Structure 1
């Protein structure tokens, strides 16, 4: 089989590898489609502190089970599945309270262990979720990105009367927009970004109004309109955003942080406690796959709005470059495996 391997930072190869054999409790998936994520690019460039090399990347993937290990029902062979990349121990404190995404022994498929940019990939059987026939193969590859939005919104508990502000109209921000509008019925969703074309994408995904904060001051605009957001999501992942979000937030607002920057940011206790703000962070997803699959099957979210490109897996290096550099026309890129 062929696998996309990052041998070391900056060196990507398509490598011929032997077929993996599923261990006890695992399934082998013949991969059909896989999505490129920013974290894949970070591993490629050596900017992910958790990755070890060489590594088969890819944590957003869909395929068909073609072999099972011992202790797995052989009737699962032929099942269409999307794979949750979060592999947890099941017995530590985070796991015991339903937070496997921050398991003390966490392994992420495509980061800590080989992933789905491959003709075949193995995963724990419990991580392979059956996809109903009403969801297409391409859309099934988009389940994982929407679980990121499902996770942060589960923390924030949006309501229809919230005034939501989202920083960033990249893939993460767009999934959050769709989740707020289609699942929670939030009536007003404001999106800010520095790229005009991304703001058009935000509108196409349900944003009520957008603002280019490269051209004017967002705080001044919100003050002029008399708007105090009650729910804010940082999907742009810049450390300077948190302090601005705290300043803009309504008293008693909730703020969600999706970034993973190691750079310091400066906030004051007074700015948080004076408004009694609630600040949540979110990493990966805590068993949100069934929830997102249901949303997709019910038409509450539309993954097609994010998919801008689909290319053959052999073109992965060019596709990753496009994903990284062409933020004006490129949103979600799917790799198609034979």
Structure 2
């Protein structure tokens, strides 16, 4: 089989590898489509501290089960499935309280173990979620990105009284905007980003108000508009955002952080406690695949809006460079296998 392998930082090859055999409790997928994420580029560039090389990347993948390991029903062969990249032990403290995404022995497919940029992949059977026929293949590949939005939203519990501010109109921000609008029905969504093209995507995904904050002070702009956000989502993850968000937030607001900067930031304890703010952090997803599949079946989100490019996997380097260097026109890039 052909696999996309990062042999070491900055060295990507398409390599011939043996077709893997599923272990007990596993299934094997014939991969049909996979999505490129920023973390894939980070591994390619050598900026992901968790990755070990060589590594087959890719944690957003869709395909059909073509083999099963011992203990898995043979009736699963032929199922259309999407893979959850979170592989957990199931018995440590985080797993026991519903947080397998921070399992003490966590393995992430495409980071700690080989991923979905390959013609075949094996994974635990419980991580292979059936995709209903009503969901097209391209949209099925988008289920994993939306689980990231589902994870932060499930913690923050948005509702119709909320005025939401979303920092960043990249893939994480756009999936979150769609969830806030189509699933949770928040009162108003404001999006701040520094690219007009991305802000246009945010508007199409359900934002009510867009703000290019390249050369303006966001606090002053929101003050002029009389807006005090009750729910703030940091989908841009710059070191300056959390301190600013604490200042902008309404009393009793919730702030959600979807990623991280390696740089430290200074925050005000007084700013948090004086308003009794709640701050949530989110990593990957904690069993959110059934939730997102239900959203798609019911038409509450529109993943097709975020797919801007598609390539054959043999053009993976071109695809990753476009994803990395063309944020004005590129959002989600799919690879066909």
Aligned-partner Cα distance in 1 for 2:159–2:298: 20
- 2:165 is aligned with 1:140: no
- The residue correspondences of 1:89-128 to structure 2 (distance < 5 A) are 89-128=89-128
Which residue does the alignment assign to 1:154?
Answer: 154
Note the C-alpha offset of 1:39.
0.3
SS of 1:123's equivalent? strand
The range that moved more, 259-268 or 186-195, is 259-268
- The residue correspondences of 1:17-96 to structure 2 (distance < 5 A) are 17-96=17-96
SS of 2:121's equivalent? strand
Note the C-alpha offset of 1:239.
1.0
> Which deviations, in whole Å up to 9, do the C-alpha atoms of 1:153-181 show, x marking residues without a partner?
01100011100000000000000000000
Aligned-partner Cα distance in 1 for 2:74–2:169: 42
- The residue correspondences of 1:1-338 to structure 2 (distance < 5 A) are 1-337=1-337
Aligned-partner Cα distance in 1 for 2:72–2:237: 40
Aligned-partner Cα distance in 2 for 1:185–1:62: 29
> Which deviations, in whole Å up to 9, do the C-alpha atoms of 1:212-263 show, x marking residues without a partner?
0003221111001111000000000101100000000000000000122211
> Which deviations, in whole Å up to 9, do the C-alpha atoms of 1:96-116 show, x marking residues without a partner?
000000000000000000000
Relative to the length of structure 1, the TM-score reads: 0.99
SS of 2:308's equivalent? strand
> Which deviations, in whole Å up to 9, do the C-alpha atoms of 1:258-302 show, x marking residues without a partner?
122211111011111111100000000000000000000110011
Unmatched 5+ stretches in structure 2: none
SS of 1:33's equivalent? strand
Aligned-partner Cα distance in 2 for 1:268–1:207: 29
SS of 1:47's equivalent? coil
Aligned-partner Cα distance in 2 for 1:168–1:4: 29
Note the C-alpha offset of 1:330.
0.2
Aligned-partner Cα distance in 2 for 1:84–1:193: 29
Q: Which contiguous aligned blocks of 4+ residues in structure 1 show a shift greater than 6 angstroms? A: none
Aligned-partner Cα distance in 1 for 2:321–2:335: 13
Note the C-alpha offset of 1:127.
0.1
> Which deviations, in whole Å up to 9, do the C-alpha atoms of 1:28-82 show, x marking residues without a partner?
0000100000000000011111100000000000000000000000000000000
Aligned-partner Cα distance in 2 for 1:47–1:258: 18
Two-structure CA RMSD over aligned residues (Å): 0.5
Aligned-partner Cα distance in 2 for 1:239–1:183: 29
Aligned-partner Cα distance in 2 for 1:82–1:145: 12
Note the C-alpha offset of 1:187.
2.1
Aligned-partner Cα distance in 1 for 2:122–2:302: 28
SS of 2:146's equivalent? helix
Relative to the length of structure 2, the TM-score reads: 0.99
SS of 1:81's equivalent? strand
Aligned-partner Cα distance in 2 for 1:160–1:98: 26
SS of 2:89's equivalent? coil
Unmatched 5+ stretches in structure 1: none
